Amino acid sequence: MNQIGPIFREARIKAGKEIDDASRETKIAKKYLIAIENEDFDVFPGETYLIGFIRNYAQFLGLDPDEMVIKYKDYKIQEQPVPIEQLMAKPRRNRKAVFIIGLLVLVIGIGAYIITKSGTFEGSKRKGQEKKEVKQEAVTVKKVEEKIIVFDEEELIRDFVPGDVILIPFKGEEYRIKITGITDQLSLLIGELPFNVATDENVKIDFNRDGVRDVLIVTNVLGEGKVNLTLKKISEKSSLVAGLPGEKETPTSDKTVNGGPEVMIYKESEIAASLPILPEGVFQILSSYEKTDIKFSAKADDTAYLSYIPDDGEKVEKLLNPGDAVDVKAVDVLKITAANAAVINVEVNDVKVHLGGKGEVVAKVIRWYRDRAENELYHLVMEDWER
């Protein structure tokens, strides 16, 4: 597949530029530069803006702007599914059969015209009323028709319009979210409960009220009769983000108490405010506009020692033999201690990380920080753990 994000990233690194440098010199927000390098094109407000940013960023990095725009368009074509009509062979038409059918249609039409003219006025009026009733019925059916979108993947990013219904199969049940209105806010029916969501608010839903939130909904772009949403399956304990300022819980009702979904609407900026600000001179594993779980994976090539503490959990210690693997997940902070660190191959959120040297004992902290300038930008950092 034709990927353009790595080309921009490698060119920036080769030029010795940080994202902050590129943003300052190109006057393009970091949010959009990171999105270009991650090929996250849905965050842009429109195609015109996106192509303009690609041209400017390419020129800044010494790349050919026209070539990068062509690569983007090729990428976009590859991402779009081919309509099934184009994959099916078109049947050959028999000219003789077409001529005969056309002649029959003409004869039938003339006959129908003669019969109609010879009928009474009342008959014509009655037929007109019947046609009007049929037309009204068709309009009525069109109004109540719903478009069903099944969300059965890990993540879905797409446009929605009023009337769209998102069907979510989950643990043997099916749950519905309906888009009921789009103005300056997004109006939803989650189950049978109505909610309004602003552009700076996210939604987390616990469908079966087991204390674990199951789905995250992020409003990317709102307006002009449609909304672009990101739906993502998550597994997050309700207590992890409970009590945030601005949080709106599911309104109390008999249906909610008897098994309706638990819904939390919150501002991303409130979560950012609960995180420390990025200090100077630390090793950044990645930067993102979405704060995800910390996923730590380790595999030993030789004998080594590893201990870890996820968030405020209990300390876990392991003696690793060659081939042993460990996978750990945390929300905000993960503390790591390792002996003979060089023989432990580590990935953090799918990024390879050097833990330490041969025979070296290291103590590290992996944690999320918020950006100094943009509250919506997060940085995942690994730094020394001063115990």
Angle at 219 between CA 218 and CA 220, to 5 degrees: 105
Q: How far apart are CA 90 and CA 112, in angstroms?
A: 33
Residue 91 pLDDT exceeds 60: no
Query: What local confidence, expressed as pLDDT, does residue 273 receive?
Result: 64
Query: What local confidence, expressed as pLDDT, does residue 107 receive?
Result: 59
DSSP secondary structure string, 21-48? HHHHHHT--HHHHHHHHTT-GGGSS-HH
Comparing 363 with 141, the larger pLDDT belongs to 363
DSSP secondary structure string, 50-99? HHHHHHHHHHHTT--HHHHHHHHHHHHHHHSPPPHHHHSPPPPP-HHHHH
Q: How far apart are CA 179 and CA 326, in angstroms?
A: 42
Query: What local confidence, expressed as pLDDT, does residue 81 receive?
Result: 57
Residue 126 pLDDT exceeds 60: no
Task: Give the number of other Cβ atoms within 10 Å of residue 274's Cβ.
Answer: 13
Comparing 135 with 24, the larger pLDDT belongs to 24
Q: Is the pTM of this model over 0.75?
A: no
Residue 387 pLDDT exceeds 60: yes
pLDDT tens across 181-195, in order?
A: 998 889 999 988 898
Task: Give the number of other Cβ atoms within 10 Å of residue 341's Cβ.
Answer: 22
The β-bridge partners of 162 are none
Query: What local confidence, expressed as pLDDT, does residue 253 receive?
Result: 34
Question: Mean pLDDT across the stretch 23-38?
Answer: 86
Comparing 214 with 335, the larger pLDDT belongs to 335
Q: Tokens at residue 235, please?
A: 């597994």
Query: What local confidence, expressed as pLDDT, does residue 315 receive?
Result: 94
Residue 129 pLDDT exceeds 80: no
Contacts (Cβ under 8 Å, ≥6 apart) of 273: 245, 370, 375
Residue 116 pLDDT exceeds 70: no
Confidence of residue 121 (pLDDT cuts 50, 70, 90): very low
Residue 248 pLDDT exceeds 50: no
Query: What local confidence, expressed as pLDDT, does residue 383 receive?
Result: 93
pLDDT tens across 255-282, in order?
A: 344 457 888 887 766 666 677 888 888 8
Comparing 191 with 129, the larger pLDDT belongs to 191
Q: Which range among 123-132, 143-152, 158-167, 268-277 has the greatest average pLDDT?
A: 158-167
- Average pLDDT of the residues of the chain: 79
Residue 94 pLDDT exceeds 70: no
Q: Among 45-49, 211-215, 241-245, whose mean pLDDT is lowest?
A: 241-245
Confidence of residue 100 (pLDDT cuts 50, 70, 90): low
Confidence of residue 318 (pLDDT cuts 50, 70, 90): very high
Q: Tokens at residue 261, please?
A: 């979904």
Query: What local confidence, expressed as pLDDT, does residue 211 receive?
Result: 80
Residue 288 pLDDT exceeds 70: yes
Residue 166 pLDDT exceeds 90: yes
Element housing 118 (H / E): helix 95-118
Give Cα separations from 50 to 54, 61, 154, 214, 287 (angstroms): 6, 16, 26, 32, 20
Question: Mean pLDDT across the stretch 156-166?
Answer: 92
